[in-house]
Structure 1
Amino acid sequence: MNKRFLSLMVLAGLTIGAQAKVKLSHLVGDNMIIQQQSDVRLWGWAKPKSKVVATTSWSNERSEAVAGKDGKWLLTVKSPKASYTPLSISFDDGDGKVTVNNVLAGEVWVCAGQSNMEMPIKGFGNCPVEGYNQVVLEANKHKGIHYVKVPSIMSTKPLDDANCEWKEANADNVSEASATGYFFAKTVNEAIDVPVGLIMANKGGSRVESWLDRDYLTKNTKEDLDSTHMVNKFKWDFLYPLLWGNGTFNPILNSTVKGILFYQGCSNVGDPDGQYTQRLADLVAQWRRDFKQGDIPFYFVQIAPYHNGDINGDAGPRLREQQFNAAKVIPNSGIVCTEDLVYPYEVEQIHPAQKRQVGERLAYQALNKTYGMKSIICESMTFKEMKIDGDKVLLHFDNEYGAYSRFEGIEGFEIAGADRVFHKATARHTWVDAPGPWNEAIVVSSPEVKEPVAVRYCFRNFQLGNLANAGGLPLFPFRTDNW
């Protein structure tokens, strides 16, 4: 543990203090994408009390900042409208000029979370991403998608910089980009024809507590924040609280971004009811506070089916339920369902191969809610209400958009009576020749349940359903009981 934190002190040496020439944050460099038509923050280090002047290729305006006693400086420049025209920004502190080239103005999104967000196009060991070769073959056709991968580093104190660099997502290096993030960027790029930049700051296996700050964890949790104690408490370092946020996320907080994409939750399976919902909402509030850009969009992914040690258990869906509830309380947010994006043979695969659809569904959220493309169907179906009719249960849903994916052969439903024992149910679409709201519904029943009282849909750790709406987006797992 001591060696690990010693390496962080070396990284902290990037804050240079009395260096002869102005130094930029690694997040400010060649190939970067800046948020279009914004006051873009740029930062770095210079000799204490020296003046740093920034000039741009697209404007005659100058931006200035004076380095503090610690050498840190931050200034803003007004960015132009998005385009594929390469731009440049120069910085001068009087002792030398540094120029950043091949800068594009576009849309900048953060890719945060754990391994399913980190998972690159090339996949992990024994965890491939579907369609790898096709992505590489087509990468050069999609101009203006750039990314920067922040190394996953722990620190007991918030770091100001990270050893990283912006890259163009071309055939040579697209394989290293977050698959979920890249498919999001590709979809947005194609839809609104602007460059898209991805800031990838994530860590496989991390908990939501890994990203919450010291003040919050001290006041609201019982987490032991002594790094030497963490070694004894946790079998794996990716479970540590606080440290990953300090080392991996804090370096990006000066960036000017459009919004945040988040895919995390597997390591919080088993959390008490409501705890994850609250902590995720508080994490979003923390990040919005620290980015200082108001309630920027937050779009996140509900974790996919996984055996969690017992395919018939319900720890996984209970966490998915908490994620679903978080979307209700986090302003300017959206959640995507991945219930249908796991193959039957992936029951023990925590990194499902179908990442294209995950990224696309995040893009649908952004295109509809952030970029105003209201014709895009972005919401999955959700349970609305039920009605018991003898030995049957009639169900209504929100967000069907006028169609179900199927009328027959529906899988994933279970019903229970007063004994609370759930049995597989037959489900089908039905019309009833009668006036009123219940003349059309999904009706479920089981010969083993004569007096049903509750319905569940895909509420087991690994249970796959197939009901979707007109946009092909799946029904969220749900339960009508509170058992």
Structure 2
Amino acid sequence: MKLKFFFFLLFTLSSVPNFANISLPEIFSDNMVLQRNSEVKIWGWAKPGEKIRLSTSWSNKEISTKADRNGNWQLILSTPDVRGSQEITISGYNEVKLKNVLLGEVWLVSGQSNMEWSAGAGITNAEEAIAGAENDQIRFFSVAHRTAGNPQQDLDGSWVQSTPETMKNFSAVAYFFGKKLQEELGVPVGLINSSWGGTPAEVWIPAEAIASNDSLAKAAKMLPDERWGPNEPGLLYNAMIAPLVRFKIQGVLWYQGESNTSNSDYYEQIFSTLIRSWREQWGTEFPFYYAQIAPYEYGDNFSGVEIRDAQRKVRKLPKTEMIMTSDIGNIKDIHPRNKLDVGLRFANLALADHYGKEVDNAYAPQFQKAEKEGNKVTIYFEHAEKLNFDKANKKSQFELAGENGQFHPANVKIEGNTIILKTNKVKEPKQVRFSWGNTSTSNVFNEAGLPVSSFKEEL
């Protein structure tokens, strides 16, 4: 009798297919935001050959595919501009329902501690900001700190709605950016925060992009060991960025640079490589907006301002732009507590530059070109409407140097949207620089109240 039951059980089990649960990366979950008006990729794992069907609450059309021999599958889903809570159902041998999904604008924010810094860690007017953070149209995804020697398929994190409890532990800069965007556009906003304090840019770049370039490889070897986090190229890209590259985003916000003062001469190339490599991995030239680091005492003469100048020069890449923080920083604190204005400046920039909204204070004045006539130099700027000096600090921060490379303070005259420089100590100017020091804080502003970036240029 027992033998008969054994054969019956064996036959029954052999007649049932080997079940495999459909599983999804952590980035797909309840409460997520998908990029609206787009074709987004949904992917995951299942049994090889398993048929995967996907349906949504906003469409009566079902799409399907089969898992490949390695158990991988991917579908392309159209996302219209619709409001309200949505559902996505993915079926195979099992069924997965994603609930309370929104379609809106998705932005990735990354960098080091000033991007990671939360209201709970201490910001200006923290209590007021936390108390007002209840908003189910703003969603957060926090990527857990991880390192990896090779690009990973998944990461640790979860989507949550904005509440006082969730907001206080999320990036404050990102929250203020998302809040402004949501108010102005009237659509849901999803924010993915993948940041790690104290990290140089190299750890966020694919390792092969560093290893294949002699200059970048040399620069990476100059990085000191830090107790705050890794410094080996690619370790954070592999674990905290690579798993996201198929997830559709509208753009990137970046706030980093303080941890590259040891190789500041290379930062323009390093940072440009990061932007290009991310766009290459995502397969799209999304907008990339970044914050210039604020003045701070780094214990040497110029490494901090050299980073700021390198960041200014990276603006030449398409669809990049920089927000200024020199007037809202703190030369005694590398973590300025005014995160509200940083977030708002990011939002104003995105609204004007990417979404085409009329925003009066989106762009800071930036060096455009210099022309010399004898010992007189005329500086032209972009976004230079009604240039003016800080009334409390009118001392010239402009300097000119001749053939010998010695800089001398220059007399300054503002004429419309240009600045005229002259000094009798330099008969034939060869170089010009402005606000050139680690702790130098720009004292020239445009009509929007935004400061001119420090700069150094050959003439």
Q: Which has the larger radius of gyration?
A: 2
Are 2:347 and 1:325 aligned?
A: no
Cα distance between partner residues in 2 of 1:133 and 1:408: 31
Contact 1:117–1:178, Cα closer than 8 Å, also in 2: yes
Match among 195, 204, 209 for residue 211 of structure 1: 204
Match of 1:36 in 2: 36
Contact 1:19–1:46, Cα closer than 8 Å, also in 2: no
Match of 1:373 in 2: 357
The answer for unaligned runs of 5 or more in structure 1 is 1-17, 431-438
Cα distance between partner residues in 2 of 1:335 and 1:387: 24
Q: CA RMSD in A?
A: 2.9
Q: One-letter code of the match for 1:339?
A: S
1:166 is displaced (CA, Å) by: 0.3
Q: How many residues align?
A: 437
Match of 1:183 in 2: 176
Check 1:425–1:28 CA distance in 2 against 1; reply closer, same or farther (3 A cut): same
Match of 1:133 in 2: 127
Are 2:388 and 1:404 aligned?
A: yes
1:440 is displaced (CA, Å) by: 7.3
Match among 364, 369, 372 for residue 348 of structure 2: 364
Match among 222, 225, 250 for residue 242 of structure 2: 250
SS in 1 for 2:349: helix
Contact 1:203–1:238, Cα closer than 8 Å, also in 2: no
Q: Which moved more, 1:391-400 or 1:74-83?
A: 391-400
Q: One-letter code of the match for 2:187?
A: V
1:444 is displaced (CA, Å) by: 5.5
Q: One-letter code of the match for 2:435?
A: C
Are 2:284 and 1:290 aligned?
A: no
Are 2:39 and 1:49 aligned?
A: no
Cα distance between partner residues in 1 of 2:21 and 2:457: 64
Check 1:223–1:296 CA distance in 2 against 1; reply closer, same or farther (3 A cut): closer
Q: Which moved more, 1:417-426 or 1:58-67?
A: 417-426
Percent identical? 29
Match among 97, 100, 107 for residue 98 of structure 2: 100
Q: Which moved more, 1:330-339 or 1:278-287?
A: 278-287
1:174 is displaced (CA, Å) by: 0.6
1:278 is displaced (CA, Å) by: 2.5
Match of 1:240 in 2: 232
1:372 is displaced (CA, Å) by: 0.9
Contact 1:408–1:427, Cα closer than 8 Å, also in 2: no
TM-score, normalised via structure 1 length: 0.82
1:115 is displaced (CA, Å) by: 1.5
| Residues 86-235 of structure 1 mapped to structure 2, 5 A cutoff | 86-94=85-93, 96-123=94-121, 128-140=122-134, 142-221=135-214, 234-235=225-226
Q: One-letter code of the match for 1:197?
A: G
1:194 is displaced (CA, Å) by: 0.8
Match of 2:451 in 1: 474
Contact 1:90–1:98, Cα closer than 8 Å, also in 2: yes
Contact 2:140–2:159, Cα closer than 8 Å, also in 1: yes
Check 1:184–1:405 CA distance in 2 against 1; reply closer, same or farther (3 A cut): farther
Check 1:412–1:131 CA distance in 2 against 1; reply closer, same or farther (3 A cut): farther
Match of 1:59 in 2: 59
Check 1:405–1:101 CA distance in 2 against 1; reply closer, same or farther (3 A cut): farther
Are 2:269 and 1:281 aligned?
A: no
1:72 is displaced (CA, Å) by: 2.3
Cα distance between partner residues in 1 of 2:170 and 2:395: 35
Q: One-letter code of the match for 1:300?
A: Y
SS in 2 for 1:331: coil
Cα distance between partner residues in 1 of 2:71 and 2:418: 66
SS in 1 for 2:52: strand
SS in 2 for 1:176: coil
TM-score, normalised via structure 2 length: 0.86
Q: One-letter code of the match for 2:154?
A: D
Cα distance between partner residues in 2 of 1:465 and 1:43: 48
The answer for unaligned runs of 5 or more in structure 2 is 1-17
1:394 is displaced (CA, Å) by: 5.3
Match of 2:72 in 1: 72
SS in 2 for 1:122: helix
Contact 2:264–2:306, Cα closer than 8 Å, also in 1: no
Match of 1:7 in 2: none
